[in-house]
Structure 1
Amino acid sequence: MEPFRQARNLPVIFAVGDNPVPIWGMSARERLRRIAAAQDLPFEAGAADTLILANLAFVFDPSWLAWLRNRPGTVLTRGGVPVLAHVAERDRARVSHAMESGGEAPAGLEEMPAEREEGIFNEALRKRERPFAERLVPENVPAIERATYVGAYKGVTDLLTKYLWPEWAFWLTRLAARVGLSPNGVTAIGSLLCIVATIAFWNGWFWSGLAVGLVFMVLDTVDGKLARCTITSSKLGNAWDHGVDLVHPPFWWWAWATGCAAYGRPLSDETFWLVIAAMLFGYVAQRLIEGAFIVRFKMHIHVWERFDSQFRLVTARRNPNMVILFAGLLVGRPDWGIVAVAAWTMLSLVVHLVRLLQAMGRGRRGEPIVSWLA
């Protein structure tokens, strides 16, 4: 087979076959169109040196398309049958025939079995994964929807998101898709609950605030998963979701510290301002360190080495901090809880600063800084 020339433009996506079985409320063709649009790839229009054929008898994780787009001459298979193939126009007919007939991938293409154990590294979700590629038939839909949901989960995150509410968020994501609620709609509900929780904390209604805050935190997972599962991410939704995530935590901590007085466990003026200063400084400084690591090393600090991924489970972000506040409230001392959160924030800051300096030192010595998940 002749070597592929460097493509002058992006590969065009073409669907092969048809499939009426819906997935997350979409047809297979509509899902493919949304994936192509999300990855800025032309769908069944325009001219290109190469094209990517997608077998609609199967459904696949979007990360496969991102992986395949820069690998002309490669075919993704499941059980030997082509699922996705990045090929030249001259190979279109024989690859399409193999897809429609359920035959094996034509000779001359580099085959990537979806079953291969080592999988691929997904930088966006910070995890090594073996993305799914399965036949889209009615009996497989529940398992496929769960696989798409699991595939949208970050591998490196906090302990609550990773262990406590994945199942809750899955059923809420499925419900939202069934009733046609958009990710931005979920974000809007969550934003309102976030404000309600802040007011509750400010007034010392800690148990009510925790309950409302818990629902908000679960919805904060749902909106992103719904956007990924239904392929409906948008710049507005992304900015709104991340904006709320970035802005609200300091307001929660300030409100909690203030509400201790209404609860009957006031902080002294000196302690109050020390707590607020530590939490604000620690929160901003940690975000700056994370940003500096990304700029310098082109990856998140939490995926550098195994320790960093493990520390992300408990580092002083909103969810682990809420566990500390909950523990303090259990013993009737919300004031102890907020002081503990301030102390943990400063300790986490020191850990992140040390890790950044260590990475910089190794880089200056010529050592490669790569993710342990790669």
Structure 2
Amino acid sequence: MPTTTYIYLFGDGEPKIWGLTGQERLRRMLSTQTNVTFVDSVDKIPSGAATLFLNANFLFDGRVLNALLGLDKKVALYSVDGCPAAIRTDGDYAQQLLRNLDKDKDHNYKFALLTIPRIGLDDLQIDFQQNLKKKDPPYILPINEANRTLLERELFSGSYKGVTDFITKWLWPEPAFWVTHYCVRKGWSPNHVTYLSIILAVTAGLAFWGGFYGIGLLMAWIMTFLDTVDGKLARVTVTSSRLGDVLDHGLDIIHPPLWYLAWGAGLIGTAEAIPGFEILIFLMFVGYIGGRLCEGVFQFSLAPFDIFIWRRLDSFSRLITARRNPNLLLLTFSWLIGQPALGLALVVVWHLISTGVLIWRLMIAWLTKHKEGSLRSWLQDIDPAHDRDQWAVKIFTRAPLDIRSLSTKSLH
């Protein structure tokens, strides 16, 4: 049976970052962990129980918290400025540790932990982030008013997938940052944004079906933008729900082929009607479903990560592969030149080409695993800080934040 870890928070973690104090953020981040119990007094920690003191005056990477929970020894994790951000101890030492921290009049805590082994981020075993298809350096960053804007930028940038389509990667981030800020100020949840996205997805499809392509495209582009916002809002505010997750991912899977079907249906009975419409739609669904199946087979049968982060080629392919945003760009282009039928044909062709590439990559992956025994993502073999001369590293990873640019004044 897994051991319960008792969590004691010290430090107030002001000012708020994305609407949350340091203590609020840590509680939300650890709320999904099993066998974790928060205590507001060290007296409630049983003798010998695994205990983790967390300094709420730091912004923690979720991977760092997971690594700390996985340790089974006494250690103190220090930031680069020499302040302890986390202390792994036990219930027998918790009271003495708290007394030492309270006696530190300067609240720098540098002399309160002399008997506990000292470690840094480099001593933690932290791998790439499969869910966000990226590899960023882990962090613990000091929270104070001087750093607030920089930390919000860093947290927002860190919520982005490293490998995604070029529109999401390069066009949406700046406007999404400000819209996400607006949502936080108004107290809107990610689900509120997702509900609006669903409405826009449906109305865009109806507009396409009626042949009102201009209005439909406007709503479709707003919907794709909000699809970025709801995910970033959820991550920066550590807000998630099972319903929101199902709605968001379900919408992402279901609506694109229905849009293309509606687009084609809007041409029926017009001069732009496509001969062999049924065959074209059939091929579109073959391409769409085939591509999704290739991705699923790779991840569930060949490797524990996404096919688009296997090799550098696959990551570059993800920038332009037949997903919603690149396809929407094809439809927009065709509408602008007055040939909406061409747009549907281009989408179908691009689906078939992209799925053909995925089938080829799947076969290569199967042969590689059969020969070498396992597959390894290219992200596992790079250092985002030291390999920035490589184009793939520049494009798909972020440069580490310069810790020297952060102020440690009024940290405690």
- TM, length-normalised to structure 1: 0.90
1:255 aligns to what? 262
Greater CA drift, 39-48 or 185-194: 39-48
> Deviation at 1:50?
2.1
Report whether the alignment pairs 1:344 with 2:350.
yes
Please list, as runs of the form range in 1=range in 2, the aligned pairs for 1:197-346 lying within 5 A after superposition: 197-261=204-268, 264-268=271-275, 270=276, 272-296=277-301, 297-346=303-352
Deviations 1:18-64 (A, max 9, x none): 23422222222111111110334524247584222211121222232
Indicate if the aligned counterparts of 1:205 and 1:263 stay in contact, CA closer than 8 A. no
Are the counterparts in 1 of residues 2 and 35 from structure 2 also a CA contact under 8 Å? no
**CA root-mean-square deviation:** 2.5
SS at match of 1:80: coil
Q: Which residue in 2 is equivalent to 1:109? A: 117
Contact map agreement 1:202 1:255 (CA 8 A) in 2:
yes
Pairs aligned (count): 364
Deviation, 1:12, is: 2.6
Contact 1:77 1:111 in 2 (8 A): no
- Are residues 8 and 249 of structure 1, via their aligned partners in 2, closer, same or farther at CA, if it must alter by over 3 Å? closer
Pick from 342, 362, 365: which aligns with 1:359? 365
| Mean Cα deviation higher: 64-73 or 198-207 | 64-73
The one-letter code sitting in structure 2 at the alignment partner of 1:245 is D
Matched, 1:26 2:49: no
SS in 1 for 2:135: strand
User: Given the alignment, which residue of 152, 155, 158 partners 1:148?
Assistant: 155
Following superposition, the deviation at residue 76 of structure 1 comes to: 5.0
1:322–1:279 distance in 2 versus 1, CA, 3 Å = same
- The amino acid of 1:34's aligned partner reads R
**SS at 2:36 equivalent:** coil
Distance (whole Å) between structure 2 residues aligned to residue 364 and residue 36 of structure 1? 39
User: How many angstroms does 1:90 deviate by?
Assistant: 4.9
Q: CA deviation at 1:109?
A: 3.0
Closer/same/farther in 2, CA of residues 11 and 208 from structure 1, 3 Å limit: same
Q: Gaps spanning 5+ residues in structure 2: where?
A: 40-44, 381-412
1:182 to 189, 198, 202: 189
Classify the secondary structure of the residue corresponding to 1:21: coil
Distance 1:189 1:106 in 2: 54
Q: Bigger relative contact order, structure 1 or 2, given CA contacts below 8 A and separation 6+?
A: 2
- Distance in 1, matches of 2:351 and 2:78, equals 45
1:63-78 residue pairs with structure 2 within 5 A? Answer: 63-73=63-73, 74=75, 75-78=77-80
Alpha-carbon distance, 1:91 to partner: 5.3
Cα gap change, 1:16 to 1:235, in 2 (>3 Å): same
Once residues 310 and 89 of structure 2 are traced to their aligned partners in structure 1, the CA distance between those partners, rounded to angstroms, is: 35
* Change beyond 3 A, Cα 1:262–1:147: farther
Partner of 2:169: 162
Counting aligned pairs with the same residue, the percent is 34
Aligned to 2:31: 37
What do residues 206-236 of structure 1 show as CA deviations (whole Å, max 9, x unaligned)?
Answer: 1211111111101101111111111111111
Q: Distance in 2 between matches of 1:40 and 1:150?
A: 28
Structure 2 residue identity aligned to 1:369: L
**Distance in 2 of aligned mates of 1:112 and 1:260:** 62
Letter in 1 for 2:3: N
Q: In the alignment, what sits opposite 2:136?
A: 129
Residues 11 and 51, structure 1, Cα contact 8 Å, conserved in 2: yes
Q: Give the letter aligned to residue 362 of structure 2.
A: L
The separation in 2 between residues aligned to 1:281 and 1:15, in whole angstroms, is 53
Relative to the length of structure 2, the TM-score reads 0.82
Q: Which residue of 2 aligns with 1:173?
A: 180
For 1:291-346, what per-residue CA distance to the aligned partner results, in whole angstroms no more than 9, with x for missing partners? 11111211111111111111111111111111111222222111111101101101
1:343 maps to a residue whose letter is V
Q: Secondary structure at the residue paired with 1:12?
A: strand
- Structure 1 CA distance for aligned equivalents of residues 333 and 215 of structure 2: 15
Deviation at 1:360, TM superposition (A): 1.1
Conserved? CA contact 2:63–2:126, under 8 Å: no
Q: Write out per-residue CA displacement over residues 52-91 of structure 1, whole angstroms, 9 at most, x where no aligned residue.
A: 2211121222232123322344525242222133333455
Q: Any conservation in 2 of the 1:132–1:147 contact (CA below 8 Å)?
A: no
